[in-house]
Amino acid sequence: MGVLISDELKDDPKLDACATTPSAHLKVGSPPGPHILKVQLALERLRPTGPKIDDAEKRAMRYGPTTAAAVLNYKKTHVPPIINTAYQHDVDPICGQMTIKAMDADLNGTPLSDRDAVADRAHEASRAALRVALTHLRSLRTDINLLPSSSDPAFGAAMVNLLFKHKRNIAVLARRLVLTPDPNSQAFKDALAKVILLCERNLAQAKTIKVAGTTGFCAGHPGDHARTSASVPDPKTHLCEIFFTNDGLDLQRDVITHEYFHIQGLGDNSVTNTAQAFTNANTIAQIVALLADRFRQRNSDGGEPAVPPLPAP
Ligand SMILES: [Zn+2]
């Protein structure tokens, strides 16, 4: 048996070599072959909303620029990002040992029999997504605060830079919070401050999850992913059967984020204006997901496709 164990990647000498030998990494210019196609199909499976791999590259089984972009996206959006910190500061578009092993682990998943591990993984991924989202939100707040006065001749150019640098962040916030996408408006600044505070509080929440399945708060609620009560002693968030049997990795992550917003008092409400948006746990949870996943174009539960598409990355 080789090093890789997922159905998609196992028993391929070239991929096993990629997982064990630094010089066998795959990159633009690597010789084409069926092993490249396996990587391409695995990327599409793991990141269905990621950058599209060109059909011609797949037909030729070639590691071309769109394959490189999909690898780069996978490495950036992996939690934690795949960087060899021994010599790298940023993610590169090469599929090496860490990347192929991470893909293999993601494809293979954690056995469903180990529900505690599934719950822990989702909890950690939720915390990591909040940290990424907060990095973007705080950077946006800093850049808004650095804008010159609107009467200053330098304002126009500074604003153009800000709108470009934060195009996805601004679009996500404006659309989900029903705001005009003017980052210099008081309404936008107030909303940004509120989202940052909610995310900080969520991140500060001590771990409070229970593998409940069909028991606890989940009893009698077969359609629910999880149920939370803020007023009971820990654990306040009970993870229900379909969380373990149905939900993908991203959705499991975002369910935890969503439930922890319930602990802060947010509900499950419909949203038609900014005030309502701040009462709805899923609005803020999906903002976190859309900021952390820089190519995501719909909610992790499959709903609400972004029309028109959100800017990326
Ligand atoms: Zn809810």
Give the C-alpha distances (Å, rounded to integers) separating 143 from 14, 186, 187, 189, 238.
Answer: 46, 15, 16, 11, 39
Distance between Cα 259 and ligand 1 center (Å): 6
Quick: pLDDT tens for 200-228. 999 999 999 999 999 999 999 999 999 99
Tell which wins on pLDDT, 2 or 81. Answer: 81
Residue 225: the pLDDT is 97
Distance between Cα 40 and ligand 1 center (Å): 35
Distance between Cα 281 and ligand 1 center (Å): 6
Distance between Cα 187 and ligand 1 center (Å): 26
Quick: pLDDT tens for 45-55. 888 888 999 99
Residue 271: the pLDDT is 95
**Local confidence band at 113 (pLDDT 50, 70, 90 cut-offs):** low
- Work out the percent of the chain whose per-residue pLDDT is above 70: 98
> Token pair of 78, please?
């992996």
Annotate 280-312 with b (16+ C-beta within 10 A) or e (fewer).
bbbbbbbbbbbbbbbbbbbbbbeeeebeeebeb
> Token pair of 206, please?
């001590």
Q: HEC states along 212-260?
A: EECCHHHCCCCCCCEEECCCCCCCCEEEEHHHHHCCCHHHHHHHHHHHH
* Res. 186: pLDDT tops 70: yes
Distance between Cα 237 and ligand 1 center (Å): 11
Distance between Cα 258 and ligand 1 center (Å): 6
Residue 230: the pLDDT is 95
Residue 162: the pLDDT is 98
* Res. 120: pLDDT tops 80: yes
Distance between Cα 223 and ligand 1 center (Å): 12
Residue 111: the pLDDT is 57
**Local confidence band at 151 (pLDDT 50, 70, 90 cut-offs):** very high
**Local confidence band at 235 (pLDDT 50, 70, 90 cut-offs):** very high
Would you give the DSSP letter of residue 151?
T
Q: Average pLDDT of 142-151?
A: 97
* Res. 195: pLDDT tops 70: yes
Could you tell me if residue 220 is left (phi over 0), alpha (psi between -120 and 50 degrees) or otherwise beta? left
* Res. 112: pLDDT tops 60: no
Q: Average pLDDT of 233-241?
A: 97
* Res. 165: pLDDT tops 70: yes
Distance between Cα 255 and ligand 1 center (Å): 8
| SS3 state at 95 | strand
Q: Which residue has the tokens 């500074």?
A: 158
Domains with residue ranges and CATH for the chain: 13-108 (no CATH), 115-292 (3.40.390)
Distance between Cα 285 and ligand 1 center (Å): 10
Distance between Cα 225 and ligand 1 center (Å): 9
Distance between Cα 282 and ligand 1 center (Å): 7
Residue 37 neighbours by CB under 8 Å, 6+ apart:
58, 61
Q: Report the C-alpha gap between 214 and 295 in whole angstroms.
A: 34
Distance between Cα 142 and ligand 1 center (Å): 31
Average pLDDT of the chain is 93
